[in-house]
């Protein structure tokens, strides 16, 4: 699996654990609570139980919207990929049907589309009774090849028959998937858009009968290319409602590499002539002009100073020994810390200079290892004290006695470094460590210390491996047991590098305790690494593992940027307005010895405007973390174009705390094209049928807030909110939803950056995965005029539609997992005054009642 692959494609692991198929039948115990469990969305589609991802085969047929979806009929994790099926007459209320296209011994059924073969070009039906035809990606279990295949239905989509002549399109690739097919009337032929995922291309094919396909053209690479391209969609739309002015929209989903991190969906507006798609945005970019501080074109580092060995003695002129091809640098020279490979570390630091401009622009590439303000850069001695275990022997003996094991994950003694088929393990001391990757992630067990007395303030230890916290269904954790209870716990960060962790035990001094190492996980990253367990009066701090560029003021990091696990350099920018007149330094840091443990940097320039990366320049359907595999319905009445997406993210999709189902879809959105500042932009709104769920309406009078947060008298776990807010002197202002119990999800506007933001750091349960918590941002200039918000709040999600007075729009969609009692809505302003006007809120009824 490549660094850009996701669980959906973990074929070797998945194929080894395939189980039989079964249709859902609610047990008597489950029947009373089904669809009303904690976190169950009440107006977003979810399957009754089990795993779901990409929406597939979206089509309107004879009064019903058909929603097919990637589905595991046998469990709540990814696997056994089949097509689930649901139908609706109004895009709001859904009825789940039996599995439409099951996997079998030869294939898993990956994503695709459904068309109505009106002229019976396939011969699967008759002209009087034309068939529905599914075009899907067939994942061949024996080879991993991805081929395009057909299935057909002659009873309106209730039952399906796989075509005996499959596959209908096979190019011998393992990265060729997710066909979207439609009828192109001007040429009277079928057209397919299908992803060449690892090449960042969409291929177009044509066919007269859906069986024989001819290659037409390719589009891409273009826009954002930080991850694999998947699930393309291509459709025409009138601009500004004028059918005489039509543009085509090409949607391309990618993972990872989205604007918010992980999975996301971008789009291109352009023209399609039946053969080629041509985007209006050519992708050409000229960064803002400014004064160059360092471009390394002298062939030396000049007065910049180095530590360590990673940067060598001079700038690079191309890839270094053992490095892949490098691109995106300016001129001939650039800084590259791959000198000596990923194991080398070091820094490259500029002399101090005075900030005179608003922005520092530069190019960056290499590893994605962000700056951690709690970590220590450079060597720090190991904490001293009472060593409880260093795991240097051949058995689990230690200064306090023998540790005991259960299960088979720990073997008969400590590991001597990296185990077979494991990624490189680093960061441990000496030769031995606890490593439960013995025979792979499938092994489980426990390792428990003898009882000891807590007579120091801290317990310090090195930890790595999987992120599965204590208390989760299948933890990989280190636990401190006092009086038979777990009083402290820690887990890895889904990495093989061990780093220091520390527990403050001040409140437990004099107590008898045990350490228990637990590996109860058999999935991805289902193991844990541990070393050097020490009772100490010194709190160990983690070593920095960053690869990036930092801006230093008085020796402290005030801005930072990292690469995206790519050897291609791209633009980044620091806003330095707050530091005008101050002395600062630029420091390029490589503190990482693992995979992608290097950084590339070039062309440091001070300017009055920010330089934008390709990711920031791309056009995003949604700036939130949970909007992926977006696709639209074929044949919707009145020519309307309605889209839905998988409301999850492959960074943490398998870990979200829901049961007996996992994943929801976004609420369906109606699309249109609008001209904004002379450019054609996609605009989205919840489908109008949402209004059928409205219950009690609350109108909030005009409210002005100053440096405070004010409750609005609106409560609910399922809400539709419309509100206008205007900044006075406030630097940040907006609404908090799902407030209470110390929780809130913040929807705000930052006047200093001109961005709408969605902050879920305090939204409820956030500790189930290290990548979940965070704040997403979307650019939207207000120019002193109101911010128009439309917000959909459900039991475990928030969708935000934000517009300015010029009609420019951004959307942000995030999952949240709040306490059921957190149902309040507040307005807030920071560092000044803001005004809320014209707010309407509706309670929304459950679609499952």
- C-alpha distance across the termini of the chain, in Å: 43
Number of Cβ within a 10 Å radius of residue 300: 12
106 cis-preceded (ω within 30 degrees of 0): no
Query: Which residue carries 């780093």 as its tokens?
Result: 499
Q: If you ran DSSP here, which 8-state letter would residue 28 be given?
A: H
Alpha carbon of 441 to those of 420, 435, 437, 493: distances in Å? 11, 11, 6, 15
Q: What is the C-alpha to C-alpha distance for residues 622 and 811, in angstroms, rounded to an integer?
A: 5
CB atoms within 10 A of CB 126: 10
DSSP, collapsed to helix, strand or coil, labels residue 407 as strand
Chain centre to alpha carbon of residue 116: 34
633 contacts 317 by C-beta, under 8 angstroms: no
Q: Are 642 and 668 in contact (CB under 8 A)?
A: yes
Cβ(481)–Cβ(539) below 8 Å? no
The rounded distance, in Å, linking the Cα atoms of 532 and 498 is 10
User: Quick one: DSSP state of residue 377?
Assistant: -
Judge whether 798 and 792 are in contact, CB under 8 Å: yes
Confirm if 192 and 162 have CB atoms less than 8 A apart.
no
Edge-to-edge strand ranges of the sheet holding 176-184 = 176-184, 189-196, 201-207, 214-219
C-alpha to C-alpha distance for 251 and 632, rounded to whole angstroms: 10
* DSSP codes joined into one string, 321-370: TT----B--SSS-BEETTTT-TT--EEEEPPPEE--SSEEEEEEEE--B-
Dihedral angle sign, alpha carbons of residues 250, 254, 259, 264: positive
Contact present, 651 and 256 (Cβ < 8 Å) = yes
Which residue blocks in 399-498 are alpha helix, DSSP H? none
Q: What are the backbone angles phi and psi of residue 197, rounded to the nearest 5°?
A: -60, -50
Say which of 54, 295, 372, 759 is annotated catalytic: 54
Q: Give CA–CA dist 526/466, Å, rounded.
A: 6
Torsion on CA atoms 155, 138, 150, 134, rounded to nearest 10: 50
CB of 743 closer than 8 Å to CB of 819: yes
Q: In this structure, are strands 583-590 and 346-349 parallel, antiparallel, or unpaired? A: antiparallel
Active site residue 54: yes
For residue 557, the surrounding DSSP H or E stretch is strand 556-562
C-alpha–C-alpha distance, residues 338 and 314, integer Å: 12
Placement of tokens 């008298």 in the chain: 713
Radius of gyration in angstroms for the set of CA atoms belonging to the chain, rounded to a whole number: 28
- How many angstroms separate the CA atoms of 232 and 192, rounded? 10
Kind and range of the H or E run holding 31: helix 28-31
Which residues fall within 8 angstroms of residue 777, CB to CB, at 6 or more apart?
623, 750, 753, 755, 756, 757
CA torsion 488-494-496-500 (nearest 10°) is -30
Q: Catalytic positions, please?
A: 54
């Amino acid at each position: 699996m490549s660094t850009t692959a996701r669980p959906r494609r973990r074929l070797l692991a998945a194929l080894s654990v395939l189980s039989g198929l079964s249709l859902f039948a609610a047990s008597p115990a489950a029947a009373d609570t089904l669809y009303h469990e904690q976190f169950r969305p009440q107006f977003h589609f979810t399957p009754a139980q089990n795993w779901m991802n990409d929406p597939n085969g979206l089509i309107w047929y004879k009064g019903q919207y058909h929603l097919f979806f990637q589905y595991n009929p046998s469990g709540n994790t990814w696997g056994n990929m089949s097509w689930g099926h649901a139908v609706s007459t109004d895009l709001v209320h859904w009825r789940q049907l039996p599995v439409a296209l099951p996997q079998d011994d030869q294939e898993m059924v990956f994503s695709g589309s459904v068309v109505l073969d009106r002229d019976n070009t396939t011969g699967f039906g008759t002209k009087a009774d034309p068939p529905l035809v599914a075009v899907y990606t067939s994942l061949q279990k024996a080879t991993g090849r991805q081929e395009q295949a057909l299935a057909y239905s002659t009873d309106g989509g209730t039952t399906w028959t796989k075509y005996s002549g499959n596959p209908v399109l096979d190019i011998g690739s393992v990265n060729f998937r997710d066909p979207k097919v439609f009828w192109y009337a001007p040429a009277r032929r079928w057209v397919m858009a299908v992803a060449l995922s690892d090449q960042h291309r969409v291929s177009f094919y044509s066919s007269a009968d859906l069986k024989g396909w001819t290659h037409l053209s390719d589009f891409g690479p273009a826009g954002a290319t930080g991850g694999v391209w998947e699930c393309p969609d291509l459709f025409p739309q009138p601009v500004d409602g004028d059918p005489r002015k039509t543009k085509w929209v090409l949607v391309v989903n990618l993972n990872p590499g989205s604007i918010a991190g992980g999975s996301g969906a971008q789009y291109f507006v352009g023209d399609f002539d039946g053969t080629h798609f041509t985007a209006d945005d050519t992708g050409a970019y000229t960064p803002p002009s400014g004064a160059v501080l360092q471009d390394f074109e002298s062939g030396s580092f000049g007065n910049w100073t180095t530590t360590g060995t990673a940067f060598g003695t001079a700038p690079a002129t191309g890839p270094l020994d053992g490095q892949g091809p490098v691109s995106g640098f300016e001129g001939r020279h650039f800084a590259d810390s791959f000198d000596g490979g990923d194991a080398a570390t070091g820094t490259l630091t500029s002399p101090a200079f005075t900030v005179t401009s608003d922005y520092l622009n530069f190019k960056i590439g290499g590893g994605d290892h962000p700056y951690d303000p709690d970590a220590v850069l450079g060597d720090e001695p190991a904490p001293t004290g009472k060593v409880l275990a260093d795991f240097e022997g051949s058995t689990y003996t230690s200064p306090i006695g023998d540790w005991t094991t259960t299960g088979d994950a720990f073997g008969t003694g400590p590991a001597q470094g990296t185990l077979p088929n494991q990624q490189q393990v680093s960061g441990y001391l000496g030769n031995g460590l606890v490593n439960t990757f013995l025979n792979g992630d499938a092994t489980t067990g426990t390792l428990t210390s003898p009882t000891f007395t807590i007579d120091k303030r801290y317990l310090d230890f090195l930890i790595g491996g999987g992120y599965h916290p204590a208390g989760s269904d299948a933890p990989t954790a280190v636990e401190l047991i006092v009086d038979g209870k777990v009083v402290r716990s820690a887990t890895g960060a889904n990495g093989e590098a061990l780093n220091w962790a520390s527990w403050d035990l001040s409140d437990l001094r004099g107590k008898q305790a045990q350490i228990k190492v637990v590996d109860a996980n058999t999935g991805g990253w289902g193991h844990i690494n541990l070393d050097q367990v020490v009772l100490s009066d010194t709190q160990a701090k983690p070593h920095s593992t960053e690869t990036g560029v930092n801006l230093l003021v008085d020796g402290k990091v005030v801005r930072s940027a990292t690469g995206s696990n790519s050897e291609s350099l791209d633009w980044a920018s620091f806003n330095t307005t707050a530091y005008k007149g101050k002395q600062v330094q630029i420091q390029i840091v490589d503190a990482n010895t693992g995979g992608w443990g290097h950084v590339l940097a070039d062309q440091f320039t001070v300017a009055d405007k920010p330089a934008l990366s390709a990711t920031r320049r791309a056009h995003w359907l949604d700036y939130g973390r949970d909007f992926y595999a977006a696709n639209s319905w074929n044949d919707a009445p009145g020519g309307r174009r309605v889209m839905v997406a998988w409301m999850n993210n492959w960074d943490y999709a398998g870990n979200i705390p829901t049961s007996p189902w996992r994943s929801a879809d976004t609420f369906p959105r109606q699309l249109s094209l609008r001209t904004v500042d002379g450019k054609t932009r996609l605009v989205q709104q919840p489908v109008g049928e949402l209004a059928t769920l409205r219950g009690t309406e609350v109108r909030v009078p005009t409210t002005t807030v100053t440096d405070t947060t004010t409750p609005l008298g609106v409560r609910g776990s399922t809400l539709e909110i419309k509100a206008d807010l205007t900044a006075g002197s406030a630097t940040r202002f907006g609404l908090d939803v799902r407030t209470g119990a110390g929780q809130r999800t913040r929807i705000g506007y930052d006047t200093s950056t001109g961005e709408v933001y969605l902050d879920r750091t305090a939204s409820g349960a956030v500790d189930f995965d290290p990548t979940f918590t965070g704040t997403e941002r979307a650019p939207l200039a207000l120019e002193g005029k109101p911010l128009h918000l439309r917000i959909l709040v459900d039991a475990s999600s928030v969708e935000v539609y934000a517009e300015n007075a010029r009609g420019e729009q951004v959307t942000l969609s995030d999952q949240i997992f709040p306490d059921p009692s957190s149902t309040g809505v507040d307005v807030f302003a920071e560092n000044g005054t803001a005004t809320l006007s014209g707010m309407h809120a509706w309670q929304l009824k459950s679609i499952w009642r």
